[in-house]
Amino acid sequence: MSKEIKVTCLEVMSHICDSLGEDLDSERCLDIKSHLEQCPDCTNYFKSVQMTIDYYKKYNVNLPPDAHNRLISFLDLDKDE
């Protein structure tokens, strides 16, 4: 059974979060996906949201040198019982 559902760019943008990690097979998401295939602006939007998430995912920091020792000392776990 096919149902014609029109999706606007604003709707695509409003529901983009669901297509990024939630219930990908929902009717809504399938409509979004088919809209994305035909709309360059929404494709760019979708890509830039994914890149935003990816940037923050990859921006990691290491524990500073000696922070472990400071933490263990702060918690008083450096002394024998």
Question: Which residues would be at the binding site for other proteins (CB under 8 A)?
Answer: 9-10, 13-14, 16-18, 20-22, 40-42, 44-45, 47-49, 51-53, 55-64, 67-68, 70-72, 74-75, 77, 81
57, containing H or E segment: helix 40-58
Nearer to other proteins, 3 or 40 (CB): 40
* SS3 of residue 48 by DSSP: helix
Nearer to other proteins, 1 or 61 (CB): 61
Cα 73–Cα 77–Cα 81 angle in degrees, nearest 5: 135
